[in-house]
Structure 1
Amino acid sequence: MRTDPTTPPRTAVVTGASSGIGAATARQLAAAGYRVVLTARRADRIAGLAEELRDAGHQAEARPLDVTDRAAVDAFAQACDGPVGVLVNNAGGALGADPVASGDPAEWRQMYETNVLGTLNITQALLPALTASGDGTVVVLTSTAALGTYEGGAGYVAAKHGEHVLAETLRLEIVGTPVRVIEIAPGMVRTDEFALTRFHGDADQAARVYAGVAEPLTADDVADTIAWAVTRPSHVNVDLLVVRPRAQASNTKVHREL
């Protein structure tokens, strides 16, 4: 990131910043010199992270937000102070691992609303500010599920495919403007909450996802990737970056030492 001591730091908005990849990304971007605005539904979590970052000498603000609530998103965008240089669309997640024949439509709908419509809402709301900054970046955090399917994952895969297409189409539509669109698609990442949420709090089932895998990616690994892509020179656009642990060759091919 280019820095000029005579100008204030650029603002980076990170959605889903209450834990995991979102929190790690906020830390990485703050360390890179950005003023970070943390959003998530869990106000206490992002308030604690903002305090941590300020104690470390960084500029950080916590703003509770549900990205599926369009009115709240629009109000958030209107209240943003100064130019917004970066938007990291991290809010999302998976629910369930049922086959198509027995999948819960309510879970499919919730995944679509969070992963796709949530990304649409906040991107639409902040795109004018990103454009006005003269050097904006939209990051869309998808998944390798956005590029290939696997049994028991259709609901999440469908949502992530939708988010991937959103990013790809937006890039086509805004070419020539001072905004780039970066998609980061992680494979197997072990965080405190992703699998646990997917399996409705069943810790044993969540642990089996990573059983025998020596080193799944961590939230810091993905955040480091995001920060690297964001801090490339303005003319450099990382259209799509897939990052997996060495033990994972595809969504369905994982080396396990059992």
Structure 2
Amino acid sequence: MADKINILLANPRGFCAGVDRAIQIVEEALSQYGKPIYVRHEVVHNQYVINDLKTKGAVFIEDLNDVPKGSHVIFSAHGISKAIREEAKSRELIPIDATCPLVTKVHVEVNKMLNQGMDIIMIGHKGHPEVEGTMGQIEEHHTNRKMHLIETIEDVKHLIVDHPNKIAYVTQTTLSIDDTKAIIEALKTKYPNIQGPKSDDICYATQNRQDAVKEISGLCDLIIIVGSQNSSNSNRLKELAL
């Protein structure tokens, strides 16, 4: 008789609430308006889900020029820049906003800080859709304000700001607290008066899933991470499981 295999399921697991909401918005739009429904950026880095939505009639695009005039277009959970929002308006597209509510809160805080004359430091990955959307909150009338992207502690060392006492930082929501902790500590050491986000503006979904993998890893001989190879979150979970 074969040895009994015990299967443990990490908890929490699966998509965060923001991604679940975005998927639901795409499906509801397809049901209400029919296909095709255009979606700017993949709503989640999971090829199975993307292929399923494509089969139902979703068309994923990166450039709004690929969307016919007057069509519905869904903005993904990552959020968008003000320039993209204006471009959609100028092309007479009908926007459906699936931006994660937590990302929207970050955008609101960034705009408030910019209007207060503060420079903003964004902790995140260059080229990530969420980072592009948040960095894109700055406008022409913010003439004396700047947004700086920081990816590493080394970036903090080389960072130069015009007004060290009027700066704040925000983080890419898909980065865990552990992933950003060292960078935030370096920023606070260099700029003691730097302001951070409110505690209720922080997304704990990534951190909670990483904690679950760390907790379960000592109890298992093998851990299987179910996710796409192009998902940074899935790859990070794999790293933590090793």
Q: TM-score, length-normalised on structure 2?
A: 0.34
Q: Counting strand residues as a fraction of each chain, which structure ranks higher?
A: 1
Compare CA radii of gyration and give the structure with the larger one.
2
TM-score of the superposed pair, with normalisation by structure 1: 0.32
